[in-house]
């Protein structure tokens, strides 16, 4: 095998929020083994099955290795110069005919280096339509936190006495967080899980609370009713640091446990019990997941959850929900180049744009299909798969097929890439360096760390940053790309922090940059206009939204559309986290495919018996939007009357079934909670 080198780096298989330290063993220019890095400050040697499969991902036969151009007979291999020249020619023509706003960019990850480089290019080109998966993933809840107390509050579970996991399954979605939860429980913490599915996390809980999908906001109001009526709130904190407490108390009076039970399917005594636990076992932390986001009432549900954190006295407390840290750095944005025209969805969802500085991807398909508020004629996709991840796939597919130009950069030929005019081969995380700020994700560990490049890219694969640098220069923006390589760019970016690339290389387990602290609001208040927690939000009121948390039925539920129940009597939820996959990724890895070889719809034994469906039967699931076929998995993991379909499967694309209605504030679609039927094929 020859001489082996050990290269410390970070595993990128689970995305930005679960990055574990690994040692990559390299021989002859190839990775031959990966091991958990024992000295990593967070993962401490842990490596999950997905991380162990990273070599399969790296050397998969399905990897794209050369730029491709669609021709009349299929795909033709071309050079990078020809690919970039083709993109430049098409973008320039479309810009001249329709204006710079006719270009949109969509990125499949959030808060990754590709986002900042893409935003720089969009500023230079003049388009406001830089979009990402933030339009569908987690940011509805984050915006609710920000409007309530100025920042997202992360759970400090390692110091908690009571942990409330709400619509989350960290056993699969965030294994580092899951380890901390398990350690806290071993040290005596109580674990409560709210989820319509009996998830792997729920099976470990002291109390599992099944809930009707899309009714999280009602449950939050019911908990607030008990907390406020029983005096379970932190009176001193409420008096000194909140506004709108009396208005909120008046609002929740009508949301009694008995009324909430009728809506949520959660028993009144269970609601009272959960509220009591938040005070009997302090400090308490809420680990909220993506699930409550995915309804047209999701934003206000998170306003209710944020209010619980605040009034219960667990905000920025050790063991509660605490505020993260942010390493100072130079921005790649170019303020003098900010487009004057508004991006799609900004008028409808102004808080989304104000906080993320992005257009809203949930409006792209409509703009492509209708030309309103103006036509979108070209789309650049990087590390994303809209055919799989956008709602209402039939509408999205028609939109993408109608574009004048579509270019996709990815690791493999996705369903979206198959529709493109140009496909570009992307480097994996093993083939490019990045810096990661743990302080934004895990506030108990404010550390900046380098994800080292381990091996050279396969074939002609290029890093995400390289694409944007090359495209920008080809477009004539050379003056805005003065860096000779990514090391120089990172040094410039990190200048305000006093940390450089070389220092990160010399410290493979990261550099700590902040002291962990709590009650930071005591020194200057909260990052809100009032400097207080705004239970009553004047900013929401000024925009015509309800300034207090409220529950309304999502657009397609048994209560909002009883007229659908004869044809669609069941509730469909989607997006449950997989043990081995990340959205539509990694099905090309043999060891992972062996664990989960095909899509299965979860159905409760009682529901299955009534419909004469047996385990492994081929069934059809149908909604107003369409139908898909897959095998049944009869299981007690899910409540009667509800079925669960996984996402990310090209063979059974669940977004053929989902609706593209939107939360009025956040713009998020209802991935969870559509009405459906299921029948044996």
CATH of 68-138+338-426+461-481 among 3.40.50.740, 3.30.1360.200, 3.40.50.720, 3.40.30.10: 3.40.50.740
- pLDDT value of position 232: 97
Identify the pLDDT of residue 517. Answer: 87
Q: Which two tokens stand for residue 394?
A: 């039939």
In this prediction, residue 147 carries a pLDDT of 99
- The pLDDT of residue 304 is 99
Q: Provide CB contacts within 8 A for 83, sequence distance 6+.
A: 67, 69, 422, 424
Does residue 603 contact residue 635 with C-beta atoms inside 8 Å? Answer: yes
Report the pLDDT value the prediction gives residue 444, as an integer from 0 to 100.
76
Nearest CA among 194, 166, 198, 170 for reference residue 183: 170
Residue 301's pLDDT is 99
**Backbone phi, psi, residue 588, to 5°:** -85, -5
- Predicted pLDDT at 16: 60
Residue 315's SS3 state is strand
**Residue 616: CB atoms within 10 Å:** 12
114-128: pLDDT as tens digits: 899 999 999 999 999
How far apart CA 21 and CA 12 sit, in angstroms, is: 10
In this prediction the pTM is 0.96
Pick from 475, 353, 430, 556: which is nearest to 86 by CA?
475
Low-confidence ranges of the chain (pLDDT < 70): 1, 16-18, 111
pLDDT at 111: 67
Between strands 153-155 and 422-425, the pairing is: unpaired
Alpha carbon of residue 128 to chain centroid:
22
Identical fold between 4-58 and 68-138+338-426+461-481 = no
Rounded to whole angstroms, the Cα distance separating 433 from 436 reads 10
pLDDT of 159 reads 96
CB atoms < 10 A from the CB of 532, how many?
Answer: 19
Tens of pLDDT, residues 492-538: 999 999 999 999 999 999 999 987 889 999 999 999 999 999 999 99
Task: Say if domain 562-680 classifies as CATH 3.40.50.1010.
Answer: no
Extract the runs of DSSP E, i.e. beta strands, from 440-575: 447-451, 511-512, 533-534, 570-574
* DSSP H/E element including 321: strand 321-323
pLDDT given for residue 289 in this prediction: 92
| Domain boundaries along the sequence of the chain | 4-58, 68-138+338-426+461-481, 155-321, 562-680
Please, what CATH class does the domain formed by 155-321 belong to?
Answer: alpha beta
CATH architecture, range 4-58: Single Sheet (2.20)
Q: What is the pLDDT of residue 27?
A: 97
Tens-place pLDDT, residues 560-600: 999 999 999 999 999 998 999 999 999 999 999 999 999 99
Residue 445, pLDDT score: 79
Per-residue pLDDT, 667: 98
pLDDT at 616: 98
């Amino acid at each position: 095998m020859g001489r082996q080198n050990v290269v410390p780096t970070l595993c990128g298989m689970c995305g930005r929020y679960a990055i574990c330290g690994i040692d990559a063993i390299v021989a002859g220019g190839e990775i031959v083994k990966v091991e958990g890095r024992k000295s990593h400050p967070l993962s401490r040697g842990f490596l999950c099955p997905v991380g162990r499969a990273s070599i399969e991902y790296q050397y998969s036969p399905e990897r794209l290795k050369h730029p491709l151009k669609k021709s009349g007979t299929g795909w033709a291999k071309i050079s990078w110069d020809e690919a970039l020249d083709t993109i430049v020619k098409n973008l320039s023509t479309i810009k001249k005919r329709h204006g710079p706003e006719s270009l949109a960019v969509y990125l499949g990850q959030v808060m990754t280096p590709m986002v900042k480089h893409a935003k720089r290019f969009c500023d230079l080109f003049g388009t406001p339509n830089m979009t990402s998966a933030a339009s569908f993933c987690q940011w509805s809840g984050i915006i609710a936190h920000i409007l309530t107390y100025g920042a997202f509050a992360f759970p400090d579970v390692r110091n908690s006495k009571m942990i409330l996991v709400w619509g989350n399954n960290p056993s699969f979605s965030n294994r580092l967080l899951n380890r901390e939860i398990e350690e806290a429980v071993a040290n005596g913490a109580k674990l409560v899980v709210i989820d319509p599915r009996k998830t792997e996390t729920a099976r470990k809980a002291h109390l599992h609370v099944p809930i009707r999908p899309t009714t999280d906001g009602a449950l939050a109001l019911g908990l607030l009713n008990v907390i406020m009526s029983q005096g379970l709130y932190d009176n001193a904190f409420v008096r000194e640091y909140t506004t709108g407490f009396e208005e909120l108390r008046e609002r929740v009076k009508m949301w009694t446990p008995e009324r909430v039970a009728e809506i949520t399917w959660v028993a009144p005594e269970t609601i009272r019990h959960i509220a009591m636990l938040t005070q009997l076992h302090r400090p308490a932390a809420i680990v909220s997941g993506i699930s409550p986001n995915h309804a047209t009432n999701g934003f206000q549900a998170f306003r209710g959850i944020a209010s619980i954190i605040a009034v219960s006295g667990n905000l920025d407390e050790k063991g509660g929900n605490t505020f993260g840290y942010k390493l100072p750095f130079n921005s790649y944005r170019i303020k003098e180049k900010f487009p004057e025209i508004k991006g799609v969805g900004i008028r409808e969802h102004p808080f989304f744009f104000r906080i993320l500085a992005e257009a809203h991807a949930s409006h792209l398909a409509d703009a492509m299909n209708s030309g309103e508020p103006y036509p979108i004629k070209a789309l650049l996709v990087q590390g994303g798969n809209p055919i799989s991840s956008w709602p209402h796939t039939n509408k999205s597919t028609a939109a993408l097929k109608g574009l004048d130009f579509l270019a996709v950069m990815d690791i493999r030929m996705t369903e979206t890439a198959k529709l493109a005019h140009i496909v570009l081969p992307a480097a994996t995380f093993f083939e490019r360096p990045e810096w990661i700020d743990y302080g934004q994700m895990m506030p108990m560990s404010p550390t900046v760390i380098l994800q080292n490049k381990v091996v050279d890219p396969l074939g002609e694969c290029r890093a995400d940053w390289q694409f944007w640098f090359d495209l920008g220069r080809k477009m004539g923006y050379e003056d805005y790309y003065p860096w000779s390589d990514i090391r120089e760019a990172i040094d410039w970016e990190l200048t305000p922090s006093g940390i450089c690339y070389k220092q990160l290389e010399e410290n493979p387990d990261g550099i700590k940059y902040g002291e962990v602290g709590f009650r930071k609001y005591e020194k200057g208040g909260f990052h809100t206009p009032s400097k207080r927690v705004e239970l009553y939000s004047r900013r929401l009121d000024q925009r015509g939204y309800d300034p207090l948390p409220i529950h309304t039925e999502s657009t397609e539920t048994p209560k909002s559309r009883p007229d659908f129940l004869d044809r669609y009597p069941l509730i469909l939820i989607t997006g449950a986290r997989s043990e081995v996959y990340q959205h539509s990724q990694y099905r090309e890895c043999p060891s992972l495919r062996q664990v989960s070889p095909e899509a299965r719809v979860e159905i409760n034994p009682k529901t299955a018996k009534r419909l004469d469906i047996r385990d492994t039967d081929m069934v059809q699931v149908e909604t107003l939007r369409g139908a898909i076929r897959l095998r049944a998995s009869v299981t007690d993991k899910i409540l009667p009357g509800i079925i669960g379909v996984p996402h990310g499967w090209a063979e059974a694309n669940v977004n053929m079934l989902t609706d593209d209605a939107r939360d009025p504030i956040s713009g998020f679609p209802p991935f969870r909670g559509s009405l459906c039927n299921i029948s044996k094929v």
